[in-house]
Amino acid sequence: MKLAAVNLVGAWAIGVVDAESGTIRTAPAELGTVDDVIRGRLDLQLVADAVHGAEPRLLGEIRLGPPVQQFNRDVLCTGWNYLDHFHESAGKREGQDPVAVPAHPTFFTKGPDTVVGPHDPIAFDPTISAKWDYEAEIAIVIGRDGRSIPESTAHQHIFGYLVANDVSQRDLQRAHGGQWLKGKSIDATMPLGPWLTTADEIGAVTDLRISCELNGVELQRASAAEMAFPIPRLIAELSHGMTLRAGDVLLTGTPSGIGNAREPAVYLAEGDVLVTRVSGLGELRNTLRRVDLARAAT
C-alpha cells in the first residue's frame, strides 16, 4: 500500500495512492494519520476499508505533506554508502578525508525540522551557506521496535520506503569540528515522500534505482545494489546496543554525482528545481525559495 499524508482543512488525513492511475483516495481525518499506522495504533485493513468507495482524485489536485510527521528523534542518516560517491569526494572534504574506505557504516543525524513535503519549497538563504548541495537517497521507516537486531531479521523491522533528498550545506558541514549535524540540519531543506510504500510492495530492494535532476539535467543515477552496506547491515549495525523505534526514519546514503565533487562544482541557487526519483517509490519535485533563515524565529 502507498500511504500519503493529505492536507485537509485544519488536519492531516491518510490517502491511499494508486500510482498507475495517478489517483488517490482519502480516508476521513478522524480515522488518524500515517504516523498512527506506522506505530501500530491503526490497522492497515481499517485504512483500506475507510477508503473503499471513496471518490478517487487526481494526485495533482491534492496537497501532500511528508508522510512521517511525528519524529521520535533526529532523522538517522548514512554517509559514504556508495563507494563511487566516497571516491569522487576524495581531496574535496577540506581536511575531513578518512584514511581508508570505512569498514563500517558511517552514521550521523539531522534535525526533524529539516523535513518538508514532496512538492514543498526548499528553504534557501545564501547568507547561511555558500555551498548548497543535493543528495538523492532512499529512506526507510522503522515499523517495529528492536535493539541489536540481527541482519538476518532486519527486514522484519522495516515498515516501508520513501524518497528523500539530503540537501546539505558543505561549508557548514566542514566548519564544526568534523561533525556533520550543523551542515545537515538547516530548517525546511529535506523533502521527504511523496508517499510511504509499505515493505510488502517492494520486491528486491537492490532493484530500486535512484536519480536526481537539477533544472532538467540528470546529475545522479544509481542502483541500490551499489550500496557498500545493504539496508539489513545498516539496521543491524545501527541497532547494536541502541533501540530503534517504530517511526524512526533512516536515510541510506547517496550515490556519486553530488555538486561539491564536480569540476567545476555545482551548487544550488534560488529558483532551482530539484527532482528526486526512486523507481517504485515515486518522485519529489521541489523548488528552492529564498527564506531569511538568519532571522530569529518568533
Residues 161-187: tens digit of each pLDDT: 999 999 999 999 888 887 899 999 999
More confident residue, 297 or 260: 260
Paired strand residues for 190: 115
SS3 146: strand
Span 109-157, pLDDT tens digits: 999 999 999 999 999 999 999 999 999 999 999 999 999 999 999 999 9
Task: State yes or no: pLDDT of 255 exceeds 80.
Answer: yes
27, exposed or middle or buried, with CB in 10 Å at 0-12, 13-18, 19+?
buried
Task: State yes or no: pLDDT of 92 exceeds 90.
Answer: no
SS3 117: coil
Q: Compute the distance between CA of residue 167 and CA of residue 187 in angstroms, rounded to an integer.
A: 11
Percent of the chain scoring above 90 in pLDDT: 88
Span 47-84, pLDDT tens digits: 999 999 999 999 999 999 999 999 999 999 999 999 88
Beta strands in 181-247 (DSSP E): 190-198, 209-214, 217-223
Span 3-42, pLDDT tens digits: 999 998 889 999 999 999 999 999 999 999 999 999 999 9
Query: pLDDT at position 94, please?
Result: 62
CB 77 within 8 Å of CB 95: no
Span 282-292, pLDDT tens digits: 999 999 999 99
Query: pLDDT at position 162, please?
Result: 98
In the numeric block, which cell numbers belong to residue 139? 529512506
Task: Give the dihedral sign, CA 166/230/201/221.
Answer: positive
- Structure confidence at residue 266 as a pLDDT band (50, 70, 90): very high
- pTM as predicted: 0.95
- Structure confidence at residue 86 as a pLDDT band (50, 70, 90): confident
Q: Compute the distance between CA of residue 222 and CA of residue 137 in angstroms, rounded to an integer.
A: 10
